[in-house]
Structure 1
Amino acid sequence: MKQNIKICFIITLLSLLILPAFVSYDASADKTNSSLGTQLNEILTDKRLSGAIAGVSVRSGSTGELIYENYGETRLTPASNMKLFTAGAALQTLGPDYRFTTELLADGELKNRKLKGNLYLKGKGDPTLLKEDFEELAQSLKEKGVHNIQGDLIGDNSWYDDESLSKDMVWSDEDNYYGAKVSALTASPNEDYDSGTVIVEVYPGKQPGVKADVRLSPISDILKIENHAKTVKSDEKAELTITRKHGSNKILIEGEINEDSSRKREWIAVWEPAHYALDLMKQSLLQAGITFKGETKLSKAPDDATLLIEKKSMPLSDLLIPYMKLSNNGHAEILVKEMGKVKKNEGSWDAGLEVMTDFLQEKGLDTDEMRLRDGSGISHVTLIKPNQLSEFLFTVQNESWFDPFYRSLPVAGDSDRFEGGTLRYRMIDTTAEQIVHAKTGSLTGVSSLSGYVDQNDGLTFSIILNQFVEDEIKDIEDEIAVVLSTYKEEK
């Protein structure tokens, strides 16, 4: 009896020595495919995961069978992997052909080339409006015979509610492009379509000692530049910051830029996106030779206002490319509010998230086991199980809208920005290159990658890493994806 106890003690001691002290995977992994499990478990012993939670879920792409899981039933913060749910819900609720609209309306008569009343620019959520779109609207208005506006130029952003920042937005993110305010009337600086932002470029001055040269794209009168940056010699230490003062449209340029530097460029979120769009419309009217006597302001258009011009956006199936490939937070939140508006006649996060919850329930997911707080995943409060994400990815393969959904996912190692997206520099020259199609995600202490392995019979997978303290651990996700890309399902 004593000998048996001694043997048990030795076995227990040996097992404790063999098991890593920082256990980053759970026992459930042992219940899955042994060869795959061995490889993935080894990756998860990376010391950077010490004290972290590594959620991994892998399913057969053909049957949906769970073939590997590690903390698959643990609720974790998904970061931008939340966009997978939002994209699917939008495709089903709105449809791949859905287009946002922007309207020009009037409340007066047109006589002798004069509009005797106010002109209204009504936004209905289009996040893709560029300066040239406002110019096109102005030119179309002139072609209709409007050369002078006797009243005011009024922006209407009432399509959505007044809550412009999601519940869990960190205040320090508000001037960053990924934290831009959500507005029914907004504008983007270029074809990345980061709505509600302006591009700020800082170039060195002509010689050391002079101020840096600051340029905006597009130029807007509502933005004020406070430039404290100076040009320094090429061998001097230089550190430059571009920020926006909280609660204002004042952009602060501070620090130094070397005389031989090319430029520094940032996308800065504006404080009032509707005023920003309205200012671009005003500029476009004047450029088209259309004058007006009144003010520019925000107000709701009368219900009986006359529709003069309607501009439609690209279809949702095309909008998904910059949204998913480049992980555009603003698009996600606009889609949430638009779903709420279309299904519940309320352009709010609460209404939109109700629509998304209903959608996920229809797909067989237990929404009582998750917490949804926004559409982009910028919230640290959102919680989803890796097994739920891998199940969702398996289930939607049978949907009529799956092709545009799949096409919108970043492709590992594809150098084309609008193909590879956020995966264009990852998994290059590996077996996963061009094989893994997946959505990335990043927050402080959070990294995620969920999608498809398009080889043999295929796999759906979700990797959600939480509570790590290292700056960069995405190579761990890549290692897992490479292993999955070589996996051959047992027959």
Structure 2
Amino acid sequence: MAYVALLGGAAWAGTSVGAQEDRSAEADAASAVVDVAASPTPTPTPTIPTRAVPAAPAGASPVRTCSVADAAADPRLEQFQGRAVNAATGEVLFDRGGSTPSRTASVLKVLTTAAALNVLGPDYRLTTRVVRGAEPGTVVLVGGGDVTLSRTPSGTTTAYAGAAHLDELADQVTAAWNADPATAGSPITTVVLDSSYFSGDAWQPSWNRKELADGYMPPITALMVDGDRDSPASNVSARSDDPVGRAGSAFAAALGGATTVIGTAPVGAPVLGQVSSAPVSTLVKQTLIVSDNTIAEALARVTAIEAGAGSSFGSLQQGITAGLAAYGLDTSALRIVDGSGLSGGNAVPPSYLTSLFVQIENRAGNLGWLYDGLPISGEAGSLSYSDRFAGSSSRADGAVHAKTGWIDDGYTLAGTIDAADGTVLTFAIYALGDVGDDAKQAIDALAAAFWDCGANLSDY
């Protein structure tokens, strides 16, 4: 209650008149003297300030008692950062450096694919075209960023399900060439290779060149076949220094033999044939499920192009953040150097990931495609490998939908957890610094501890 005291002041007005009269008849000219007493100044009413009425007491928050302190203190996590959030309420249940931007490793692919699904949409396809060249006997193979295009015969299974094949493209070109009276019966002698859709460096300067021989990353060009793998069917396979040359040689052979040169297509040249990738919805899953660096970089570059940011590595910061803007989250702390997360120069706070994963869990916009492509603990993709969610951590099998990450100085995991009590948590765990391969087991143990606690997860 508020208590108000009101005091009324009284005012007095007093008038004293004294009249002196000369009552004699001779006093006609006598003067009358009037004495008027001065009125006193009224006393003002004092103002008493009104006390604020206290707000109704807030409802008591339940004391959360399930601690994961031991798992979070595992020395294998090295420089540990992490956050866990109740996806339904938005309450931060656990936080260790969650607002600090740090390198993400391949968890960055979540941002890349989320941006691509917004800018490109799930039905967008990357198209490779062949157009007529400016010189007689010449055609131009124009790369459109489809790194899944295969040099293997049509019907062959490669690392990329649903990939287009060069022999199909060659058949289209040959048919169109022979259907034109101006070229029918004449050979195709030269294939011009046009990879100008992407610009700038093909190799991000912060990447380690050993990734070529180790089989995880090729130079990123708009024209390549089979992700530039030596073995088209293998997820991990050595890559070359010249993806454009490898693609050109394979296409020339499919045409029956021709020389190849580097160049660009004439403006407005007639199209002789074209083939397209699987839709972005499929490419997103292929990117996430086995952490494919090559598709991630292609999606990042095409997203930046379609967002109007440019076509080089330097365009990705603007292009990816523009693609993420639709999700309504603050992107100012993000640093995007590449699309795959291979660079240690990328920086994303765990808090951004836990917020984005709330929207992924809710399938906002086109993000349902992303959720459906995530690895699942003990069941699918990179979380089903023998060294993930093994031993006691296997109690969370099937409950963790998350993206894995690994670079030389960091292991990461971020996604959602369907906890034992039915609560959905979003989480991000970073183990950074001088980490070993066993950091993966420490990360899984902490995620399994989050699963145990659910809504009762304590920050202590």
Q: Give TM class, smaller chain.
A: 0.7 to 0.9
2:137 is aligned, of 117, 120, 134, to 117
Residues in 2 aligned to 1:406 and 1:125: alpha-carbon distance in whole angstroms: 24
1:176 is aligned with what amino acid? D
Note the C-alpha offset of 1:421.
3.4
The amino acid that maps onto 2:76 is: R
Quick one: structure 1 residues 484 and 266, their matched pair in 2 at CA, closer, same or farther if it must change by over 3 Å? closer
For the Cα contact (< 8 Å) 1:135–1:284, is it kept in 2? yes
Within the alignment, does 1:450 sit opposite 2:414 as a pair? yes
Determine if contact 1:32/1:69 at 8 Å carries over to the other structure. Answer: no
- 2:455 and 2:216 map into 1 onto residues whose CA distance is 39
Q: Does the Cα contact within 8 Å between 1:441 and 1:448 map onto a contact in 2?
A: yes
Give the drift of 1:394: 1.1
Give yes or no for contact 1:336–1:348 (8 Å, CA) kept in 2: no
| Cα distance, 1:411 vs structure 2 | 0.9
Query: Tell me, what secondary structure is at the counterpart of 1:296?
Result: strand
Alignment match of 2:426 (pick from 460, 477, 482): 460
- The CA deviation at 1:141 is 2.7
Residue type at the aligned position of 1:271: D
Q: Which whole-Å deviations, capped at 9, do the CAs of 1:331-358 have from their partners, x for residues lacking one? A: 1111111012212173222223202122
Identical amino acids, percent of aligned pairs: 25
Aligned to 1:243: none
Q: Which residue of 2 aligns with 1:412?
A: 377
Which structure has the larger Rg?
2
Contact 2:359–2:367 (CA under 8 A) maintained in structure 1: no
Is the 8 Å Cα contact of residues 354 and 426 (structure 2) preserved in structure 1?
A: yes
Query: C-alpha distance in 2, partners of 1:266/1:281?
Result: 23
CA offsets per residue over residues 406-449 of structure 1, 9 Å max, x none?
Answer: 011001111xxxx3334443225723111111000011120000
1:64 matched residue in structure 2: 90
Amino acid at match of 1:46: D
Quick one: which of 186, 199, 218 aligns to 1:161?
A: 199
Name the structure 2 match of 1:103: 129
Q: Which residue of 2 aligns with 1:238?
A: none
**Helix, strand or coil for the counterpart of 1:487?**
helix
How do 1:170-181 and structure 2 match up within 5 A? 170-181=208-219
How far residue 380 of structure 1 moved from its aligned partner, in angstroms, is 1.0
Cα 1:33/1:299, change in 2 over 3 Å: farther
SS, match of residue 213 in structure 2 = coil
Gaps of 5+ in 2: 1-60, 154-164, 179-184
Alignment CA distance shift 1:465-1:32 (3 Å): farther
The alpha-carbon deviation at position 32 of structure 1 amounts to 11
**RMSD between superposed Cα atoms in Å:** 2.6
**Matches of 1:32 and 1:427 in 2, distance apart?**
31
Aligned residues: 373
CA–CA distance in structure 2, aligned partners of residues 337 and 145 of structure 1: 32
Residue 46 in structure 1 maps to residue 74 in structure 2: yes
Alpha-carbon distance, 1:182 to partner: 0.4
Which structure 2 residues correspond to residues 67-466 of structure 1 after superposition, within 5 A? 67-107=93-133, 116-131=136-151, 132=153, 133-144=165-176, 146=178, 148-188=186-226, 195-199=227-231, 267-286=237-256, 292=258, 295-344=259-308, 346-396=310-360, 397-414=362-379, 419-425=380-386, 426-428=388-390, 430-455=394-419, 456-466=422-432
Deviation at 1:85, TM superposition (A): 0.5
SS in 2 for 1:159: coil
- TM-score normalised to the size of structure 1? 0.71
| TM-score normalised by structure 2 residue count | 0.75
Tell me, in whole angstroms, the C-alpha distance in 2 between the residues paired with 1:315 and 1:451. 24
3-state SS, counterpart of residue 149 of structure 1? coil
Q: What does the per-residue CA deviation read over 1:137-195, in whole Å, with 9 as the maximum and x for residues that have no partner?
A: 1222333353643541111111110410123112333433223110100011xxxxxx1
Displacement after TM superposition at 1:395 (Å):
2.9
Check 1:354–1:453 CA distance in 2 against 1; reply closer, same or farther (3 A cut): same
Q: Does the CA contact (< 8 Å) of 1:32 and 1:68 recur in 2?
A: no
**Contact 2:382 2:404 (8 Å CA) reproduced:** no
Paired with 1:267 and 1:56, the residues of 2 have a C-alpha distance of: 33
Structure 1 counterpart SS, 2:412:
strand
Aligned amino acid, residue 69 of structure 1: D
Q: Name the CA distance, whole Å, in 2 between partners of 1:446 and 1:384.
A: 13
Using the TM superposition, give the Cα deviation of residue 369 of structure 1 relative to its aligned residue in structure 2, in angstroms.
2.3
Q: Distance in 1 between matches of 2:238 and 2:197?
A: 24
Q: Which amino acid aligns with 1:165?
A: W
Give the 3 Å change call, closer, same or farther, for CA 457–448 of structure 1 in structure 2: same
Tell me which residue corresponds to 2:11: none
CA contact (8 A) 2:412 2:430 kept: yes
Shift of 1:470: 3.2
